[in-house]
């Protein structure tokens, strides 16, 4: 069985699965249960400055969207940082770290954007023996209105400044957690780097209104007839998170900056995908909040089975392997030509591919009287829509044409050489001088 031991920023944990800063890590009792269940580490629920803690709403905090059979696909919350006293949290962290020296404990922090506030809290955190800190610049609701969280995370200069204060006043690794509620994720990542961050973690939750109650005409979750935007997470946000991770991993400015991947990690496969895009580990919140701590067992067994199958003996073997294959669109090979091919034996004749290609794509699928579906190569642009909607896995595949063959759609010979948009004759900004 592959060794899942992970060393991230010099912090070793038995596996790359950490619980993200959130309700699962809010209290000693939860964290102990999590470690007993097998989680490699936790990022403790975000702590605020000393004094009376924040208060949460006393009505519903969560809302969800579902797939068939009420499978939870996306979760939204209007919760704040910890609502328990700072001292109590620090004591618990100290105790748990002592009892679980082999697990990672990172303390998430969010205090006002003043150096004094950080200088006050950091020595206390240092004293707990925790392995590092994570700066919560991401919380999209409640805290931003108080000049913290996303309010800082959306201004790169603040990120740089706060990160620098932390590096100056704390000896262990500093992770900067990024908010996705921004247009270009590379800018806050670069700012964190300039401030001396040891790593970035992303994504925090996405601004969202999960649903509207059509009887009361109020957004959900509804508190006394009113609702507020919240933070969106869970399986539905994974594609957004993967893109943001990839942007940072492949940017020449931030390349090599360690990343802790967060956002919709629900299975071992999700974790492997984040790691392939450059994450040294992953953090999980919604999957635990949906199924309980036991899900980590599947993540562990699945990742090690896959690593064995691929011959990876350690995590580092595959971290970042997919990064070189993420490119800008204009660098994709326009001479690569594929065609959809339907496996008639696997086809169950539902006709969905036909309906969508005919109605919304390229009229490239023929349907016979007795419901045999075939691709018309002379029309197929290989858009992959049919593959996306076919209910049978692997029933339709995209088969690449061999150079030298004639594409029946264009009548052109398939070229062997790579050629992209930058050199394409239709591109007005064509870099090859023509004529």
Partner 1 sequence: MSNSQMTSGIVSGRVPQATLDENFSDLHPGLAAHEAAVAADRCYFCYDAPCQTACPTTIDIPLFIRQIATGTPEAAARTIFNQNILGGMCARVCPTETLCEEVCVREVAEGKPVEIGRLQRYATDRLMETGAHPFARAATTGKRVAVVGAGPAGLSCAHRLAMLGHDVVLFEREAKAGGLNEFGIAAYKSTGGFSGREVDWLLEIGGITVETGKSLGGDLSLDALGSEYDAVFLAIGMGGVNALRAAGEDKDNVVDAVSFIKELRQSDDLSALPIGREVVVIGGGMTAVDAAVQSKLLGAQNVTMVYRRGKGRMAASEFEIELATAKGVRIIYNAQPVAVHGNGAVAEIEFEYTVEDGNTLSGTGEMFRLPADQVFKAIGQRLMDAPESVAVAGGKITVSETGRTSVAGVWAGGDCASGGDDLTVTAVAEGRDAAMDIHAALTA
Site residues (CB under 6 A) for ligand FMN? 20-23, 45-46, 75, 77, 79, 81, 108, 136, 138-139, 177, 204-205, 233-234, 237, 262-265, 284-287
Site membership for ligand SF4, residue 133 (CB under 6 A): no
Nearest approach in angstroms of CB 385 to partner 1 is 14
| Spatial separation of the C-alpha atoms in residues 265 and 279, rounded to whole Å | 12
Q: Among the options 113, 139, 166, 432, which is catalytic?
A: 139
Site membership for ligand SF4, residue 96 (CB under 6 A): no
Site membership for ligand SF4, residue 337 (CB under 6 A): no
Closest CA to 15 of 33, 3, 31: 3
Judged by CB under 6 A, which stretch of 54-62, 260-268, 317-325, 349-357 contacts ligand SF4? 349-357
| Spatial separation of the C-alpha atoms in residues 339 and 420, rounded to whole Å | 19
Closest CA to 169 of 135, 201, 136: 135
Site membership for partner 1, residue 393 (CB under 8 A): no
Closer residue to ligand SF4 (CB): 166 or 386: 386
| Spatial separation of the C-alpha atoms in residues 87 and 239, rounded to whole Å | 38
Closest CA to 289 of 40, 30, 24: 24
Closer residue to ligand SF4 (CB): 309 or 394: 394
| Spatial separation of the C-alpha atoms in residues 24 and 18, rounded to whole Å | 11
Buried b (16+ CB within 10 A) or exposed e, 226-246: ebeebbbbbbbbbebbbebbb
Site membership for partner 1, residue 354 (CB under 8 A): yes
Site membership for partner 1, residue 350 (CB under 8 A): yes
| Spatial separation of the C-alpha atoms in residues 260 and 242, rounded to whole Å | 11
Residues in the chain: 435
Buried b (16+ CB within 10 A) or exposed e, 272-310: bbbbbbbbbbbbbbbbbbbeebebbeebbebbbebbeee
Distance of CA 234 to the CA centre of its chain: 9
Contact 29, 41 (CB under 8 A): no
Contact 183, 208 (CB under 8 A): no
Closer residue to ligand SF4 (CB): 174 or 365: 365
Judged by CB under 6 A, which stretch of 80-88, 157-165, 226-234, 383-391 contacts ligand SF4? 383-391
Site membership for partner 1, residue 362 (CB under 8 A): no
How many binding residues for partner 1 (CB under 8 A)? 14
Which of partner 1, ligand SF4, ligand FMN, none binds 319 (CB below 5-8 Å, type-dependent)? none
Contact residue for ligand SF4 among 121, 262, 353, 401 (CB under 6 A): 353
- Has 139 been annotated as catalytic? yes
Contact 19, 42 (CB under 8 A): yes
Contact residue for partner 1 among 127, 371, 413, 430 (CB under 8 A): 371
Site membership for partner 1, residue 170 (CB under 8 A): no
Q: Containing H/E element for 279?
A: strand 279-284
Which of partner 1, ligand SF4, ligand FMN, none binds 375 (CB below 5-8 Å, type-dependent)? ligand SF4
Closer residue to ligand SF4 (CB): 193 or 396: 396
Site membership for partner 1, residue 349 (CB under 8 A): yes
Q: Looking up tokens 């100290």, which residue turns up? A: 94
Closest CA to 164 of 126, 122, 204, 131: 122
Q: What angle do CA 30, 73, 289 make, to 5 degrees?
A: 5
Site membership for partner 1, residue 229 (CB under 8 A): no
Contact residue for ligand SF4 among 348, 372, 406, 419 (CB under 6 A): 348
Residue numbers of the site for partner 1 (CB under 8 A)? 68-70, 348-352, 354-355, 367, 371, 391-392
Residue numbers of the site for ligand SF4 (CB under 6 A)? 340, 342, 347-353, 357, 361-362, 364-365, 373, 375, 380-386, 390-392, 395-396
Cite the active site residues.
Answer: 139
């Amino acid at each position: 069985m592959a060794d899942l031991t992970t060393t991230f920023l010099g912090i070793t944990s038995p596996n790359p699965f950490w619980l993200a800063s959130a309700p699962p890590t809010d209290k000693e009792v939860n964290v102990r249960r999590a470690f007993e269940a097998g989680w490699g580490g936790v990022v403790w629920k975000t702590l605020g400055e000393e004094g009376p803690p924040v208060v949460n709403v006393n009505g519903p905090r969560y809302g969800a969207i579902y797939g068939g059979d009420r499978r939870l696909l996306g979760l939204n919350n209007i919760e704040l940082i910890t609502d328990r006293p700072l001292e109590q949290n620090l004591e618990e962290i100290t105790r748990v770290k002592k009892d679980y020296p082999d697990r990672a404990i990172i303390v998430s922090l969010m205090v006002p954007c003043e150096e004094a506030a950080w200088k006050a809290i950091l020595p206390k955190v240092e004293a707990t023996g925790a392995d590092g800190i994570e700066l919560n610049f991401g919380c999209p609701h409640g805290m931003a209105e108080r000049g913290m969280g996303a309010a800082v995370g959306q201004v790169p200069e603040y990120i740089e400044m706060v990160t620098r204060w932390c590096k100056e006043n704390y000896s262990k690794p500093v992770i900067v957690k990024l908010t996705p509620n921004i247009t270009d994720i590379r800018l806050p990542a670069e700012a964190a780097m300039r401030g001396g961050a040891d790593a970035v973690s992303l994504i925090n939750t996405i601004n969202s209104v999960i649903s509207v109650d059509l009887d009361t005409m109020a957004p959900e979750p509804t508190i006394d007839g009113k609702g507020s935007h919240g933070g969106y997470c869970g399986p539905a946000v994974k594609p957004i998170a993967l893109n943001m991770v990839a942007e940072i991993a492949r940017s020449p400015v931030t390349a090599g900056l360690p990343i802790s991947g967060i956002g919709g990690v629900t299975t071992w496969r999700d974790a492997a995908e984040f790691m392939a895009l450059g994450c040294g580990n992953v953090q999980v919140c919604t999957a635990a909040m949906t199924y309980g701590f036991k899900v980590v067992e599947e993540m562990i067994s699945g990742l090690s089975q896959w690593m064995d199958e691929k011959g990876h003996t350690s995590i580092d073997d595959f971290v970042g392997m997919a990064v070189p294959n993420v490119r800008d669109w204009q660098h994709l090979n326009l001479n690569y030509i594929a065609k959809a091919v339907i496996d008639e034996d696997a086809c169950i004749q539902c006709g969905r591919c036909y309906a969508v290609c005919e109605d919304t794509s390229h009229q490239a699928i023929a349907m016979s009287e007795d419901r045999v579906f075939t691709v018309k190569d002379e029309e197929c642009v290989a858009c992959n829509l049919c593959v996306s909607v076919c209910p049978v896995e692997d029933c339709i595949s995209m088969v690449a044409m061999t150079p030298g063959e004639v594409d029946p759609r264009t009548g052109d010979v398939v070229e062997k050489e790579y050629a992209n948009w930058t050199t394409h004759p239709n591109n007005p900004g064509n870099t090859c001088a023509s004529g």
